[in-house]
Amino acid sequence: MFRMFHRQKRRFVFNIKDVIMSEQQVNITGEPTLDPQVCKFIVEHPIFPEKTYNCRSKDMAKGSPLLEALFAIDGVTQVLVSDNSLTIAKNNSEPWPLMGKQIGTAIRNTIKSESVLIDPDVETKLPSEDDIRSKVQELFEHEINPQIASHGGFVELADVEGSTVYVRLGGGCQGCSSANVTLKQGIAKAIRQMIPEVTEVLDATDHAAGANPYM
C-alpha cells in the first residue's frame, strides 16, 4: 500500500531547464516539498558524488564555490547537498520559479568556472533511517499529536527511506481541505527543524478516503 504512494508522489512543479541550457548543457529540475520554504533541485551534473553536506550558513559555505554562490542569493538560509541534488531553504516570500532562475544561474556559472564545486574535505554524516524514525516518532508523540488531537486528528510515520520521511494523516485531519496546509506549515517544518538532514517530507495520506477510510 505504502509503496504505491511512493511511486505516485507528485513532483516537477517547475523546470528551469530553459534558463540554463543556452550556454551549458545542464538540466536542473525543481521538485516541491511539503515545506513551502524548501525546494529540492536535481542537477544533471556531478555535484558532490556519493557525499552529503548540510550547509547552514555563509561561514560553512566558505571554500566551496557552489555553496558560496548559492548563499550569495538573497534569502537562502540552508543548502543540503547530496550527490547531485541540492535541497535549498529560504526565508523570503519570493516564489520558487523566480528564485529558481537565480539558483540555476549560480549553478551554471559555477560549473562553467570551477572544476571543484564542493570542498572535498567537508562532509556530513547522515543519521541512519532508524535514528530518523525514532526522532520523528518522538516528535509526533510528544509535540505534534497533542496539538492536533483537539481537532480529532493525528499524524503517524509511514516510512523513512534514506533522508526522505513519509507521513500519514488520520482522524479529523484526513479528508479535510486544510490537511495539506497543515502539513506544509507545521509538520514538515517541525521535522526539518529537529532533523536538518531530512531532505523531503512527503504525504502518504489517501485524502480521498475521508475520515474513516476503512469503514
- Running along the chain, 215 residues long, what does each successive block of 10 average in pLDDT? 36 45 73 87 95 94 98 97 94 95 96 95 90 96 89 89 88 63 76 88 67 31
- Write out pLDDT tens, residues 104-127: 999 999 999 999 999 999 988 888
Distance CA 27, CA 11 (A): 15
Residue 15's pLDDT is 53
**DSSP code of residue 208:** G
**Distance separating alpha carbons of residues 107 and 28, to the nearest angstrom:** 9
State the pTM of this model.
0.72
35-65 CB burial, b ≥16 within 10 A, e <16: bbbbbbbbbeeebbeeebbbbeeeebbeebb
What residues contact residue 59 under an 8 Å CB cut-off, 6+ apart?
none
Cell digits of residue 107: 549553478
* CATH architecture type of domain 129-209: 2-Layer Sandwich (3.30)
Mode of pairing for the β-strands spanning 200-203 and 164-171: parallel
Q: Please give the CATH architecture assigned to the domain spanning 2-113.
A: 2-Layer Sandwich (3.30)
CA 158 to chain CA mean position, Å: 17
Where residue 50 falls (left for φ over 0; alpha for ψ -120 to 50; beta otherwise) is left
Q: 66 with 114: CB under 8 angstroms?
A: yes
Check residue 2 and give its pLDDT. 29
Domain ranges of the chain: 2-113, 129-209
> Does residue 5 contact residue 158 with C-beta atoms inside 8 Å?
yes
Q: How far is the C-alpha of 82 from the C-alpha of 197, rounded, in Å?
A: 10
pLDDT of amino acid 9? 44
Candidates 120, 90, 116, 121; CA nearest to 103 is 90
C-alpha cell at 167: 507521513
